[in-house]
Structure 1
Amino acid sequence: MSAKTPRQRRQDHSQAAQPSPQSNGRPSNGTPRGAPTQIAETLADETDETDETDENIFLFVPNLIGYGRIVLALASLYFMPLHPRRCSVLYSISCLLDALDGIAARKYHQSTRFGAVLDMVTDRCTTTCLLVFLATAKPAYSMIFQGLISLDLASHYMHMYATLAMGGREGSHKDVSKERSWAMNLYYTNKNVLFTCCALNEVFFIALYLLCFSSPMITPALLPSAGLAGEKGMSPTTPHQPLPSLFFPSPFSAAAMEMARANKMNSMVPWILTVASAPVMLVKQYINIVQLVRASQWLAEGDRRDRKKMEVEGRKAK
């Protein structure tokens, strides 16, 4: 026998709950009409559990865009060690699609909690991967990049958890009142501010990544030796192309990465992008700090209320 759908089960319960004509308005078990019955309670419980649509949330248009972002991000990671141009293009497209999935969600009325979490997790993972590469490319500054990774992950996790714990199931991580934080309220409610901060924050790190492959000021290994510079008339702004090494054939070795850096990439555009986006990147880090502090304070408020409630209940028990 085939299983009944939730709608059919609710109809069966509704028919069973209707009084028969012979019962003079009483259910068959003799209970007066209007009194709560076991059937009504079962119907209510089942309605709470099965009151949902048959839509496949995972195939919503915004979520499909999110999956595309993940594929592009993985492709950019593959090209990251040796092909900065390809990596930057793929990474940038993945970041730009972050705005497109929001537009699709509003257009098709497909805003979902899964999509919001997928979007946030993808953002955190892609930025973390880029910062990990910068930490390995510039070990002297690895502590700074590690700190930025920790701040980004901690602030968003604390904020999301505080929203779920204190704001309830219907709360959104973007619902931040001005009383709690005017900076976060502006950041999450103004789409232009949100897009600008997120986009230029990523531009800063992408430009810094490109400088690792083009600027001798960032990567001194790009400076040509005095002999080569005298022979070929090279300058620090146009690094020489080193000869392939038979001792480091692996394309993922440290030596191969050094060779890939010296690929005559012009550093002017990356420098312009770095300087132009640096102030916005600092603003984004400030918002991360505020987000971490406000989420911690919000959770502490809930802890104090719970402890006060336990204290009152303890007094009543005595």
Structure 2
Amino acid sequence: MSVRTRRQKAAAAAVDEQPASTANGVAHTTSTPKKAGKEPQENIFLFWPNLVGYARVVLAVASLYYMPLHPRTCSFLYSISCLLDALDGYLARLFHQSTTFGSVLDMVTDRCTTACLLVFLASAWPRYSIIFQGLISLDLASHYMHMYATLSMGGAGKSHKAVDSSRSWILHKYYTSRTVLFIFCALNELFFIGLYLLSFSSPKLSPSLLQPPPHTEPMTPQPGNPAHQPPGTLFASPWSAGALELARANKIDSTVPWIITGVSFPIMAIKQFINVVQLVKASNWLAEGDLAKRRADRAEGKLA
């Protein structure tokens, strides 16, 4: 090591040890701040509740694949996807991994899966399609308006489930009680699953499924006749509406679907009422914000 290098190191050490400033005869030394440790890098997309959310999406897509012709498989996969909705919230609280992304993923998955099931029901019963279309619109509109109102009026960091009782007692009870929320969501989905199963089994709702048309011979190849010929000999396309209806015929017994539908109907009806309340309250909240903004603009002279 050269003399010059040793002198430079000694001078640098002396500078580090000497007082940086003197006040009232008291020397204050400067110290080099230590580097803060690196914060752990977290991947929001790999949080446990979000992984469950991805599994829900996969199960929902699989249920849609089996929906046209395989009611048991579809209902099983769809039900598991819905039940996992409760698990992701539990994992979020357990691992302290509640995120805005996870909340939005959960809501979008719920809305999309329900809408897809209602689309199938509208195609199964075209006469009542306007009812199913209305239910889809109400579900999407009420939740979108509520989410938007919460974020714009309540603050970006506020959860859509944080509804003050003074604003709406029924929404406060609905969102803050996990038991109430689970029961209403589960039975609402169960009602539509019951209707889906009835579309495969109930001659009362779909007379052509099991009964041959009037004034026809028992062995004629009519859609819905139990003694029908193979679908390929009746329909040019195996995916036509008539071929699908024929393939659904005589699939399952309608007793259990009727019980499921009857038991869950009252809760489903109340859930739709809550959607209406949610839509109205969110609209009023947004209107209050618009009025407050107009008053502020008028006070600043931006409005006449």
Deviations 1:31-50 (A, max 9, x none): xxxxxxxxxxxxxxxxxxxx
1:127-138 equivalences under 5 Å are 127-138=114-125
Give me the whole-angstrom Cα distance separating, in 2, the residues matched to 1:278 and 1:127: 16
Sort the Cα spacing of 1:251 and 1:87 in 2 relative to 1 into closer, same or farther, 3 A. Answer: farther
Equivalent position of 2:61 in the other structure: 74
Is the contact made by 2:218 and 2:227 (CA closer than 8 Å) also made in structure 1? no
Query: TM-score normalised to the size of structure 1?
Result: 0.78
Equivalent position of 1:90 in the other structure: 77
Is the contact made by 2:218 and 2:225 (CA closer than 8 Å) also made in structure 1? no
Is the contact made by 1:241 and 1:263 (CA closer than 8 Å) also made in structure 2? no
Deviation of 1:264 after TM superposition, in Å, equals 4.0
From 232, 237, 240, the equivalent of 2:226 is 240
1:162-181 equivalences under 5 Å are 162-181=149-168
From 268, 272, 297, the equivalent of 1:281 is 268
Of structures 1 and 2, the larger Rg is shown by 2
Give me the whole-angstrom Cα distance separating, in 1, the residues matched to 2:72 and 2:94: 33
Give me the whole-angstrom Cα distance separating, in 2, the residues matched to 1:24 and 1:154: 69
Sort the Cα spacing of 1:21 and 1:293 in 2 relative to 1 into closer, same or farther, 3 A. Answer: farther
Q: Percent identity?
A: 64
Equivalent position of 1:256 in the other structure: 243
Equivalent position of 2:27 in the other structure: none
Partner amino acid for 2:196? Y
Q: Please say which of residues 102-111 and 220-229 is displaced more in the overlay.
A: 220-229
Give me the whole-angstrom Cα distance separating, in 1, the residues matched to 2:122 and 2:103: 29
Give me the whole-angstrom Cα distance separating, in 1, the residues matched to 2:45 and 2:74: 28
Is the contact made by 2:209 and 2:250 (CA closer than 8 Å) also made in structure 1? no
Q: Structure 1 residue runs of 4+, over 3 Å off?
A: 20-25, 226-231
Give me the whole-angstrom Cα distance separating, in 2, the residues matched to 1:71 and 1:55: 24
Deviation of 1:256 after TM superposition, in Å, equals 2.3
Equivalent position of 1:59 in the other structure: 46
Deviations 1:146-170 (A, max 9, x none): 0000000000000000000001122
Q: Please, which runs of 5 or more residues in structure 1 have no aligned partner?
A: 1-19, 26-50, 232-237
1:150-299 equivalences under 5 Å are 150-225=137-212, 240=226, 242-245=228-231, 246-248=233-235, 250-299=237-286
**Does the residue aligned with 1:220 lie in a helix, a strand or coil?**
coil
Sort the Cα spacing of 1:256 and 1:194 in 2 relative to 1 into closer, same or farther, 3 A. Answer: same
Deviation of 1:243 after TM superposition, in Å, equals 2.5
Sort the Cα spacing of 1:222 and 1:247 in 2 relative to 1 into closer, same or farther, 3 A. Answer: closer
Equivalent position of 1:44 in the other structure: none
Is the contact made by 2:210 and 2:250 (CA closer than 8 Å) also made in structure 1? no
Equivalent position of 2:288 in the other structure: 301
Deviation of 1:253 after TM superposition, in Å, equals 2.1
Partner amino acid for 2:62? A
Sort the Cα spacing of 1:97 and 1:228 in 2 relative to 1 into closer, same or farther, 3 A. Answer: farther
Partner amino acid for 2:161? K
Sort the Cα spacing of 1:53 and 1:143 in 2 relative to 1 into closer, same or farther, 3 A. Answer: farther
Sort the Cα spacing of 1:248 and 1:198 in 2 relative to 1 into closer, same or farther, 3 A. Answer: same
Higher helix share: 1
Give me the whole-angstrom Cα distance separating, in 2, the residues matched to 1:248 and 1:69: 36
**Does the residue aligned with 1:221 lie in a helix, a strand or coil?**
coil
Q: Please, which runs of 5 or more residues in structure 2 have no aligned partner?
A: 1-17, 24-37
Equivalent position of 1:310 in the other structure: 297
Sort the Cα spacing of 1:243 and 1:230 in 2 relative to 1 into closer, same or farther, 3 A. Answer: closer
What is the aligned length? 267
